[in-house]
Structure 1
């Protein structure tokens, strides 16, 4: 009996040591990002699935609201994560601490031609590739179906004139007990405002390039003036609230039309509000697919990575686009969702348009009417505020939010083009100072 017990004990020790040895042989990839909300929970579930699906690589993911601070503190000392999710507009800010990943095509099953050239181009500096598209946060129009029906609005607005007309009719439904607004623009939210304003036809806030020079683009800009006048009139006419928490008002059934990204979808689903999603309007309504304005976040490698951890991270990125997801969805609309890739699952569940063409062209993606409806053309404009990667991007984006709020809440009523020019003059000077600070 003692011999049998000793044999069993020895076998248990061997199995334990074997398991520990196998675990220790895995290459650990440290992965940082700022996805701390519900979408981050979905990301964590997918990372866990990857870790459980193989025994070569372990992805150790940290989600934090201190992501930016962690990068600034740890990148210079090469103690940062190997892999990060970074907005392409921060390429120049952190460029010296990022690794080119031109060799990813040779070391994975991924193909460059399988990615949208417009989005992949945002992750390049010169001929060097620094990122693989993870998430496109394109702004879209959300609309309350019940409010539109109650107001007698039969056509979903495709132009800004139609937005104005529908907003007036919806606002008329408001009561003392339940205020209702036809329009729900965030005047403090620079991204949402700019996603609308560029659709009026205005270019970047600062135009040009480093070789030929930059110049501010606020004054003598008819399209920008038209956008600002439109936004202010909505507020002055009582069709758009001053409140900042428009998301909550939309979820409470108090907003008819608004612009937002895919992250709002989960909240509206939980609220029970009867809503739809489509492309944002334009001036003519005939070119709605020509803009896909928003942000692009990419998988990027830092200089803290070793050759071993970089190659291990490549395996995770490869799996993200070609592996198997959580397999949690049923067969619906005649489409089997049980074997979709993590990339497709992320895009479909979060309502994010995708840069990976095999996903975009898949029957699972094409079966989602909302995603198809908001998908842009292959040549759509995708960048906001200034050219991607410019050193003054953050300053210009921050100035934008201040500028719009000041104009809408404190500008003259019944504004004219000249009123807009007078108002924008000091902001034009501010942009000129950013150019001088960074490039002269």
Structure 2
């Protein structure tokens, strides 16, 4: 689910936020299965003479999360004799480039693919996806079995284009040992509690920080969260709006943590994660995909919803992986197999939750098995998650923000000037 360095440090975001999308899906390794060659469109072959109908399934899960989806596919293949899913992992950093080429060429394109929910409007507008209403109905898949937010986002002109697999909001990780040593009994839930906690958790003599402010990724999740919490917007309906007083205040607040010594200055990419792994950063805001890395490191950590730092409301930026079907997947047998597989995933996706993700399937969320997982608390924020604005080519539009936020947090520019310049560049990208 996102671009990760050092194995699994970052996650993608691209949606464009290209940054967004690319980051949350995994590492830089190109692991994954290779689909068997086929002489039929989309890499699938119709069942004949007792052979299974083959389906080509693309994902960007090139990090640690890929093994969990591979496990689901393998169990599905072993569970029945009609269909075989050929599971292919494309490098997450190249995923949408590869998908664009395949969909445009109409040859060797996937029959089924994973797509970040905020990419769906753009691909649907290009006529490259097909609505899933009929397939869902024939397979017994209903919208009400899924969390509302991603279903609503991927429903365009009353047609449903994406069946959600998960929702990955920004979450708070905290070091339980450091919290205990500082006499803090619970995770902070608002700005006052957060500021009190990070002050107690900072010990400059030990090189220990309460909250290390990232200057790059995952600001693609942090900045929108803080803006929305503070009553601001990224898009006002007709124009970009992230140089508002509400947005500027949040960047100034982050810079203030650096100025106070709560965070070191000049944090490089993944620096906050490195310090968290070393036990020198008490709190980190990141995505659910980080869980397996922290487990492997043997950290004694907790997971909780991001506190409400802003003054207006609780909100959190989220991404979501959805299943989509390309427009050129037309074989009736292949489509039937896709429906069968999606129905299987809806009821057998706990393996995906073990990767650190919170599932979008309500029956799975309500299961005792999911509720027993440490990251089950991630689902507590689903009632107030927000996705990227439903604006075509949003990733390209917002891209200038990340460099300007970096300038502001490094002290190179005043927050207002940095965000004003980001807006000017974004308007230029829109042709305004």
**Residue ranges of structure 1 left out of the alignment (5+ in a row):** 1-20, 209-213, 323-340, 413-418
Cα shift at 1:174: 4.3
Per the alignment, residue 427 of structure 1 pairs with 422
Question: How do 1:28-67 and structure 2 match up within 5 A?
Answer: 28-65=54-91, 66-67=94-95
Q: 1:298 to 1:377 in 2, by over 3 A?
A: closer
* 1:200–1:112 distance in 2 versus 1, CA, 3 Å: closer
Report the Cα offset of residue 232 of structure 1: 0.5
Normalising by the residue count of structure 1, what TM-score does the alignment of the two structures yield?
Answer: 0.79
Cα deviations by residue, 1:340-370 (Å, 9 ceiling, x for unpaired): x2x23322x1332232211122222233354
Structure 1 position 120 matched with structure 2 position 151? yes
Instruction: Spell out the pairing of 1:10-409 with structure 2 (5 A cutoff).
Output: 25-65=51-91, 66-79=94-107, 80-95=109-124, 96-172=127-203, 174-175=205-206, 179-189=207-217, 190-208=219-237, 214-219=238-243, 221-241=244-264, 242-245=267-270, 246-283=272-309, 290-308=314-332, 309-322=334-347, 341=348, 343-347=349-353, 349-368=354-373, 370-372=375-377, 374-376=379-381, 378=383, 380-384=384-388, 387-388=389-390, 390-409=391-410
What is the total number of aligned residue pairs between the two structures? 376
The alpha carbon displacement at 1:284 in A equals 7.0
Tell which structure's C-alpha radius of gyration is larger: 1
Query: What is the TM-score with the length of structure 2 in the denominator?
Result: 0.81
Distance 1:120 1:42, change over 3 A: same
Task: Find the aligned partners of 1:130 and 1:193 in 2 and give their Cα distance.
Answer: 27
State the match for 1:9 in structure 2.
none
Does structure 2 conserve the Cα–Cα contact (< 8 Å) formed by 1:206 and 1:216? yes
CA pair 295-251 structure 1, distance change in 2 beyond 3 A: same
- Classify 1:257/1:199 alpha carbon distance in 2 versus 1 (closer, same or farther; 3 Å): farther
RMSD across aligned positions (CA): 2.3
CA 1:408–1:292: 2 relative to 1, 3 Å: closer
Q: CA deviation at 1:76?
A: 1.0
